[in-house]
Structure 1
Amino acid sequence: MLRLVIAFFIVPFLASPALFAQKTTRLLANWQYLQSDLGGSWEAVRPVGEGSPESVPVWQDITLPHCFNARDAVDPAGNYYRGPGWYRTQLTIQNPYRQGRTLLHFEGAGQKTDVYVYTTKVGSHVGGYDEWTIDITEAVEDFKKSDVFAKQFKGNVPIVIRCDNSRDLEMIPSGMSDFNVYGGLYRYVNLTYAPTVSLDKIFATADVDPAGQAGKLTVGGRFRKPAEQSAAAVSIRLLDPQGKTVDQTIKSLNDLTGDVSLWQTTLRKPQLWSPDSPDRYTVAIKLMTATDTTTYTEKVGFRSFEFVEKGPFKFNSKRLLLKGTHRHEDHAGVGAAMTEDMIRTEMIMMKEMGVNFIRLGHYQQSRIVLDLCDSLGILVWEEIPWCRGGLGGDLYKEQARRMLTSMIEQHFNHPAVIIWGLGNENDWPGDFPEFDKEKIRLFMRELNDLSHRLDPRRRTAIRRCDFCKDIVDVYSPSIWAGWYRGRYTEYKSVSEQEFGKVNHFLHVEWGGDSHARRHAEEPDQAVATVTTGKGVDERTGDASLHGGSTRMSKDGDWSESYIVNLIDWHLKEQETMPWLTGTAYWPFKDFSTPLRPENPVPFVNQKGVVERDFTPKESYYVFQSYWTDKPMVHIYGHSWPVRWGTAGAQKLVKVYSNCAEAELFVNGKSQGVRKRNSQDFPAAGLRWQVPFNAGSNQIRVVARQGNKTVEDEVTMQYQTEKWDKPAQLILEKIGEENGVSTLQARLVDDRGIACLDAANYISFSLAGDGRLLNNLGTSTGSRTVQAYNGRAIIRVESGAGKAVVGVQSPGLPTALLTILPLKQ
């Protein structure tokens, strides 16, 4: 019989590689959510009035993905919700496979999840960041035999899901971690129909020799329900990046248990995957049994890499400086529930900034992220969320082992991945009475061995746990030059010291916070008060805003002006460090955190180069000027509408560009041409001291690279009047679009002069129709925010009637503004 099956399918497969595919549907719509606990799943499915005169209230209609904490994570009023939440939907289930399996595939759900078909519990999962699948076949078939299937649910199958992100010391990540431990179905949920026997996982290894002359592909598989079928056949094709078949095989299988070897083949001079040319091959597998035929595809990339001992990083045998950043799964208005379009936008913005490397902190992330890293050419360090707090007991350690195994197996085929991260800041105690370094070392060694067993080709790494740095392959110490300690000018010397302490050094996490739209005429003024020569790392307490040594994180102005200087210095120094493997700036985007309620935007870590809604800060363009080739130019200060100083004073104008030269014009007059020199700090020599007129000033730059030119321009007001302390608030409408009004609150002194260095907290409120667009965790989307240069912005969505918006600041009179409804 098996020979007949093989013979029947060989010819069609070679002619048409996509005959059938495992059928998967994203379950996006027709969901309801309840933020509280229930007595059990029955309360989610019982008819109204069944056993009670009232039904459970406040179910909300929602779409997936959905996060408990889409808004409250950055609500300045208090802590975010941590507890249970319930979801329910009804599915029409019609499996096209004879005796097929019906599966629910979760791409991630936080943090503990129970799944029910009607009132039958079909499975549970612990851990908010790995993928998992539950087979609901039997439960669905049993439910279809019940009376309520036809009567109450009209032929649909009720699915009920309980998620819970309550604090649990025996779970990772720790609540001490500097990010929100979100709850909900915040990644996609899929309904999958599979044949009786299907491929659960495919493991494809694409190796290439250092010279790039010979490639070897090894393909293995793991089957779902192998005991129900003793024999099958696979037909496998390898397609090059242009879609041409370069090799193929067909193989009969008599044992489907365990991890099964499917194919091994060699290629001469394969097209290599790299950040500049992310070329991928396709492995197309056709699984044939006596009853079903299913096709699967996986993308692979041939590449080699090496962390040279006491030296740089090599990729495909050439030195490559890793130019990296970090990512949290977090966004304004949705929390962790980022859609595929949002994720794509974010990753493309990173690539356009010049990124070729990313550390996914501090947990496994969506398969969509990994796919985009593959297609865009961004190398990956991915890690499990063993982050801070210490080391728990058996349940804690078992979860860490399980998540590490899941991460490696689920993302094994991605050519972008080069490092598996085992932990972060594991030297930070707090969750348990005992903090035993030797026990942490023992478990770290266990995870390191497990990683190498599962995947001997990739490296292991941790960040900031000095007493474990000898265990892993690659180590990153904590170096926060110019922020948590020290001055940014110490960055190179401290990095050289740390480089000498380990065999393989990679610096992840550096930078500092910047309050978007806040600027300073003298941003480095506080640097003179910072002690040098005593380390530039992050220590317990130094991340707070109180006490401890003088440091820019506590005593600086948190301006964009300071951070662009810090970043500029780091990037220009990196060009003079031939031994450096690379670095990763922390992070790409601002993100929410429960540990920073006193920040200028409450509960937001503001170290990103873009805001939580993708709005670029000025620092984004500093990176572009160093890391990209496409000609670009940017005048510093697009979000700095008013500068200040004395009449006739020379003011510094900085331009960030990757072009060879630039010419600046102020109010139509050329200020001369400057040549770019990356070692001429700041702004690589593209800076001018120019006179400003009182009032409006037009600034334009023309940059040239060969025969190409790019331009940028900005208008800045120049204020020469000196101000006293803030005495009053002025609230005004400065724009309107599509029913949304933009309001600005300004702090002025008792003469009405704008206080351009004021950083008072400002709070907005609304009475009447309409709503504030707040709880977004951005400089213009928080109802409580520190002023940036004496101002703060909020947006208001108009309602059917009028509304009154109020603005307050401690010690100042409240200001009010009436917003009228739009004309119908």
Structure 2
Amino acid sequence: MIRTFQQHRLRESQLLNGLWDFVFDKDDIGLSEKWHMNFPSIHDRIPVPACWNNELGKYDYEGVAWYRTWVTLENSRHLRLLFHAVMGHADVYWDGQHLGYHYGGFTPFDFTIPNATSGIHELIIRTDSTLGHNTLPYHIVDWFHYGGIIRPVEVQHLPDVWIENMRITYDMTGDSSANVRIQLKLHSMSEKPTEVPVSFYRNNELIQNDSAYLSNKGSTELVLEQAWSDIQRWEPEDPTLYMIRAVVGQDDRTDRIGFRTVETRDKKILLNGKELYLQGINRHEEHPEWGFAFPNKLMTKELDIIRQMGCNTVRGSHYPQSEYWLDLLDEQGVLFWSEIPIWGAAFPAKETDDPLFVERAMTMMDEMIERDFHHPSILFWSVHNEIDTRSQQAYDLSIKMTELVRSKDQSRLVTFATMHPMTDICLGLFDVIGINYYGGWYFGHAEFEEMLEVFHERCNQYGAEHTPVLMTEFGGAGVHGDTGWEPRLFSEDYQADLLSKSLKLFRSDPKISGTYVWQFADTRGQLQSHLPHFRDRARSFNNKGLVNEYRKPKLAYRVVKGIYTDQTDPYDWGSTLK
């Protein structure tokens, strides 16, 4: 399943999951040799969705690869090819014809094919996972860079008139009332003008009948505005959700929303007018057996582990995560911080204003918001992480990104995460500020008090004296199973001790509104034997997870759980890190 609920009852859909023909193009000759018309006869077979790096003999490869499958149609149909995520560059070919190109990795894209003929059709995808100076992420990145078609591919059968988009917005007018606006974008592939009936439903109850007229091969927008007076708000402890369905002729679309407000006031974050304290974790959607092609079953278990720890929020580090995961968060009342993969600890300031990089960043941000707009669990859109926010280039990029987000969605908070809290010049641009600071790990000793003192003063200087602050990354590595009588570096004991002291300090600071521990699970690092980057990553993993890569708990998990759930802290090494 792509979602936890059914989005279409009338529109037929076929998932192209399964084994596809597959071949590496290490010398990048496929275009010149026209592999989109003459796919190599010698090829592998590989699962889709999947990451090729998880297959034997393919672990290290980064670059160009080609995929092929076949689509059989019994009758001539209008088709929509929907790709939920393809890593990096993707060129799509249908029966040898180039349908188009997409750059991204974690956001969906689609193509429509009017009047596709009956018979067997060849679908070929050229992918390229190569990272460079203007890619998202940058070529020096602190997580393993998988390649492949990582999320499902759908073939949807479209009627002559189909729903291209549905956008639901609302303004709360009282505790249980709101003005609701449902906007449909309709498209016709008919050769003649058409009038179709339109019906709207809320939780399967009809709320409006209407009709729409479309010229031949034309488009139109239809808007329904109503005042609803019997709304139950979406709350973490009671996450009420509403199913909204539109039926247009022979097509339909269902999405799900929750009603809530989010705002800031005097350094606090308020959900439905009530002050929040966030107890969170950073989560990579990655596993050593599946890479980024994360299975739904593991998502449900992962969320159970996170909730058991006492978390009420998750940060999606550092890219748009799957829609199924967001649906689970909506259903269980867990708040989410969503971001795109601008990871900048090794990203030079001079690259920040590269026109192609900026274009790609803006597009990915737009696509993420467009895809995930209706999820009530999302409180934060984050525009970048750890870039050089001491620089004018980062300041200029921040203005462009925040303006884009606010133009698309004013119902959420715009944020970022800084690794330069004592020298950052962008503090005044955001609704919420995240601090990434690894006292006790990269800096050799825990110096959080000094950092926070300087940071809070800089907030006053940069017009952010009322802006809420979250500790979005902190912690240290602990290799699973390495325990002893003393908290040595890389031991579970040291990691637990560091997190215990850090969390207690942050929770005692009234100017901090929450914490996101780095990180939930150990993740593969982007280590290559011929390059110097990240060679401190034991086992080729970032070992700062509270659980290991197979979701087995470390001592730090139990420590964080004890603090987040107000239980007795099972671990206290006294003055070790003074």
TM-score (norm 1): 0.61
What is the CA deviation profile of residues 744-785 of structure 1, one whole-angstrom value per residue up to 9, with x for unaligned ones?
xxxxxxxxxxxxxxxxxxxxxxxxxxxxxxxxxxxxxxxxxx
> What's the counterpart of residue 598 of structure 1?
535
Structure 1 counterpart of 2:16, from 27, 48, 73: 27
State the distance in 2 between where 1:423 and 1:233 align.
44
Relative to structure 1, is the Cα distance of residues 71 and 424 closer, same or farther in structure 2, using a 3 angstrom cutoff? farther
Q: Does 1:415 align with 2:376?
A: yes
Structure 1 counterpart of 2:331, from 371, 375, 393: 375
Q: Percent identity?
A: 26
Q: Deviation of residue 73 (structure 1)?
A: 11
Relative to structure 1, is the Cα distance of residues 94 and 379 closer, same or farther in structure 2, using a 3 angstrom cutoff? farther
> What's the counterpart of residue 546 of structure 2?
609
What is the CA deviation profile of residues 333-361 of structure 1, one whole-angstrom value per residue up to 9, with x for unaligned ones?
22212122233332332222222112212
What is the CA deviation profile of residues 529-588 of structure 1, one whole-angstrom value per residue up to 9, with x for unaligned ones?
xxxxxxxxxxxxxxxxxxxxxxxxxxx521111111222223334543444321111121
Letter in 2 for 1:404: M
Q: Secondary structure at the match of 1:342?
A: helix
Q: Does 1:294 align with 2:246?
A: no
Contact 1:324 1:356 (C-alpha < 8 Å) held by counterparts: yes
Q: Does 1:166 align with 2:123?
A: no
> What's the counterpart of residue 777 of structure 1?
none
Relative to structure 1, is the Cα distance of residues 115 and 74 closer, same or farther in structure 2, using a 3 angstrom cutoff? closer
Contact 1:212 1:269 (C-alpha < 8 Å) held by counterparts: no
State the distance in 2 between where 1:384 and 1:281 align.
27
* Higher mean C-alpha displacement, 224-233 vs 211-220: 224-233
Contact 1:73 1:335 (C-alpha < 8 Å) held by counterparts: no
Relative to structure 1, is the Cα distance of residues 19 and 324 closer, same or farther in structure 2, using a 3 angstrom cutoff? closer
Higher relative contact order, structure no. (Cα contacts within 8 Å, ≥ 6 residues apart): 2
Contact 1:313 1:580 (C-alpha < 8 Å) held by counterparts: no
Gaps of 5+ in 2: 1-5, 528-532
What is the CA deviation profile of residues 767-807 of structure 1, one whole-angstrom value per residue up to 9, with x for unaligned ones?
xxxxxxxxxxxxxxxxxxxxxxxxxxxxxxxxxxxxxxxxx
> What's the counterpart of residue 471 of structure 1?
429
Q: Deviation of residue 128 (structure 1)?
A: 0.8
Structure 1 counterpart of 2:294, from 313, 321, 338: 338
Letter in 2 for 1:581: S
> What's the counterpart of residue 495 of structure 2?
563
Q: Secondary structure at the match of 2:558?
A: helix
Q: Deviation of residue 258 (structure 1)?
A: 7.5
Structure 2 counterpart of 1:136, from 107, 113, 135: 113
> What's the counterpart of residue 281 of structure 1?
242
Q: Secondary structure at the match of 1:427?
A: coil
Contact 1:591 1:604 (C-alpha < 8 Å) held by counterparts: yes
* Higher mean C-alpha displacement, 252-261 vs 18-27: 252-261
State the distance in 2 between where 1:386 and 1:258 align.
35
> What's the counterpart of residue 204 of structure 1?
168
Contact 1:462 1:469 (C-alpha < 8 Å) held by counterparts: no
Structure 1 counterpart of 2:411, from 449, 457, 465: 457
> What's the counterpart of residue 3 of structure 2?
none
* Higher mean C-alpha displacement, 80-89 vs 35-44: 35-44
Q: Does 1:116 align with 2:93?
A: yes
State the distance in 2 between where 1:205 and 1:559 align.
49
Q: Does 1:623 align with 2:552?
A: no
Gaps of 5+ in 1: 1-16, 48-54, 145-154, 429-435, 524-555, 629-657, 660-675, 685-824
Letter in 1 for 2:155: L
Structure 2 counterpart of 1:505, from 469, 473, 489: 469
> What's the counterpart of residue 401 of structure 2?
447
> What's the counterpart of residue 87 of structure 1?
67
Contact 1:312 1:578 (C-alpha < 8 Å) held by counterparts: no
> What's the counterpart of residue 540 of structure 1?
none
Letter in 1 for 2:362: R
Q: Does 1:266 align with 2:224?
A: no
> What's the counterpart of residue 70 of structure 1?
54
State the distance in 2 between where 1:481 and 1:603 align.
22
Structure of greater Rg: 1
Contact 1:73 1:180 (C-alpha < 8 Å) held by counterparts: no
Relative to structure 1, is the Cα distance of residues 410 and 73 closer, same or farther in structure 2, using a 3 angstrom cutoff? farther
Contact 1:437 1:467 (C-alpha < 8 Å) held by counterparts: yes
State the distance in 2 between where 1:294 and 1:627 align.
47
Relative to structure 1, is the Cα distance of residues 352 and 515 closer, same or farther in structure 2, using a 3 angstrom cutoff? same
State the distance in 2 between where 1:407 and 1:618 align.
35
Contact 1:206 1:303 (C-alpha < 8 Å) held by counterparts: no
Q: Secondary structure at the match of 2:539?
A: coil
> What's the counterpart of residue 307 of structure 1?
264
Letter in 1 for 2:254: T
State the distance in 2 between where 1:376 and 1:517 align.
32
State the distance in 2 between where 1:184 and 1:215 align.
43
Q: Deviation of residue 118 (structure 1)?
A: 2.9
Q: Does 1:237 align with 2:217?
A: no
Instruction: Within 5 Å, give how 1:646-657 maps onto structure 2.
Output: none
Relative to structure 1, is the Cα distance of residues 468 and 160 closer, same or farther in structure 2, using a 3 angstrom cutoff? same
What is the CA deviation profile of residues 21-49 of structure 1, one whole-angstrom value per residue up to 9, with x for unaligned ones?
222222111312222355348547759xx
Contact 2:245 2:252 (C-alpha < 8 Å) held by counterparts: yes
Contact 2:500 2:572 (C-alpha < 8 Å) held by counterparts: yes
Q: Deviation of residue 270 (structure 1)?
A: 1.8
Relative to structure 1, is the Cα distance of residues 462 and 31 closer, same or farther in structure 2, using a 3 angstrom cutoff? same
Contact 1:101 1:194 (C-alpha < 8 Å) held by counterparts: yes
Letter in 2 for 1:195: P
TM-score (norm 2): 0.85
Relative to structure 1, is the Cα distance of residues 169 and 578 closer, same or farther in structure 2, using a 3 angstrom cutoff? closer
Q: Deviation of residue 226 (structure 1)?
A: 7.6
Instruction: Within 5 Å, give how 1:732-751 maps onto structure 2.
Output: none
Structure 2 counterpart of 1:387, from 343, 348, 351: 343
Letter in 1 for 2:436: S
State the distance in 1 between where 2:36 and 2:220 align.
40
Contact 1:101 1:193 (C-alpha < 8 Å) held by counterparts: yes
State the distance in 2 between where 1:38 and 1:253 align.
49
Q: Secondary structure at the match of 2:237?
A: coil
State the distance in 2 between where 1:391 and 1:132 align.
25
Letter in 2 for 1:276: E
Q: Secondary structure at the match of 1:625?
A: helix
Contact 2:52 2:58 (C-alpha < 8 Å) held by counterparts: no
State the distance in 2 between where 1:234 and 1:27 align.
30
Letter in 1 for 2:443: R
* Higher mean C-alpha displacement, 475-484 vs 366-375: 475-484
Contact 2:8 2:254 (C-alpha < 8 Å) held by counterparts: no
Q: Deviation of residue 268 (structure 1)?
A: 2.8
Alignment RMSD (CA, Å): 3.0
What is the CA deviation profile of residues 408-440 of structure 1, one whole-angstrom value per residue up to 9, with x for unaligned ones?
111111101111111111208xxxxxxx93333
Q: Secondary structure at the match of 2:490?
A: coil
> What's the counterpart of residue 364 of structure 1?
320
Structure 1 counterpart of 2:208, from 249, 255, 268: 249
State the distance in 2 between where 1:348 and 1:223 align.
39
Q: Does 1:397 align with 2:358?
A: yes
Contact 1:74 1:602 (C-alpha < 8 Å) held by counterparts: no
Letter in 1 for 2:358: K
Relative to structure 1, is the Cα distance of residues 508 and 258 closer, same or farther in structure 2, using a 3 angstrom cutoff? farther
State the distance in 1 between where 2:195 and 2:392 align.
49
Q: Does 1:318 align with 2:278?
A: no
Structure 1 counterpart of 2:440, from 469, 473, 482: 482
Letter in 2 for 1:461: T
Q: Does 1:126 align with 2:103?
A: yes
Q: Deviation of residue 681 (structure 1)?
A: 6.9
Instruction: Within 5 Å, give how 1:782-793 maps onto structure 2.
Output: none
Q: Deviation of residue 269 (structure 1)?
A: 5.0
Letter in 2 for 1:223: L
Letter in 2 for 1:219: I
Relative to structure 1, is the Cα distance of residues 93 and 343 closer, same or farther in structure 2, using a 3 angstrom cutoff? farther
State the distance in 2 between where 1:18 and 1:382 align.
22
